[in-house]
A = this chain, B = another copy of it.
Amino acid sequence: MTIEAQDEQQAATKDRLLAAPISQDVGFLLAKLHAGGSVLNNRALAEFDLKERSYSVLILANSGLEPTQRELADFLSLDPSQIVALVDELEKRKLVARAPGKQDRRAKTVTATSKGAQLLAQAAIAARHAESEVLAALDDGEAVRLKALLRKALWG
């Protein structure tokens, strides 16, 4: 079988199951687009030795909001123990620093170092490229509307 015929058949089988009612299921659509997007994002971020997770932490650490680890866990829907591991690694690479909370000394705020900010600036470019790949089938207006609907679903 030729390569071209292979591709055609693979596309055909994908389209074939599209007729199943699960293609109307939001959970499925989110899972599938997220799965495909993660591959592209992680591929784009690998160049900087980052993954989606560590990239997210780095953005929040660089936001000026001085999030605590607990806030990061809540916001990223991760277990606090996973944040420990992510921050440990970024801190070891001198991309972020932990500081005791000002009002609450139990908490530790995570802020990006200047080295972290520099790396983030580069990585953000790659991430934007990956995002445009994920949404390649949408025009600009559609992409904006999709993001707005996702934000509304999450935070009203």
Give me the interface of A with B, judged by CB distance under 8 Å.
10, 13-38, 41, 52, 56, 59-60, 63, 65, 67, 70-72, 74-77, 127, 130-131, 134-135, 137-138, 142-143, 145-147, 149-156
Q: Which of B19, B24, B131, B143 contacts A147 (CB 8 A)?
A: B24
Q: Is the interface of A mostly helix, strand, loop or mixed?
A: helix
Given the known interface contacts A63-B17, A71-B16, A153-B137, the answer about A38 and B33 at a Cβ–Cβ threshold of 8 Å is no
Name the residue on B nearest A142 (C-beta): B149
Q: How many copies does the complex hold?
A: 2
| Chain B residues with CB under 8 A of A146 | 26, 146, 149-150, 153
Pick from B29, B52, B65, B152: contact of A17, CB under 8 Å: B65
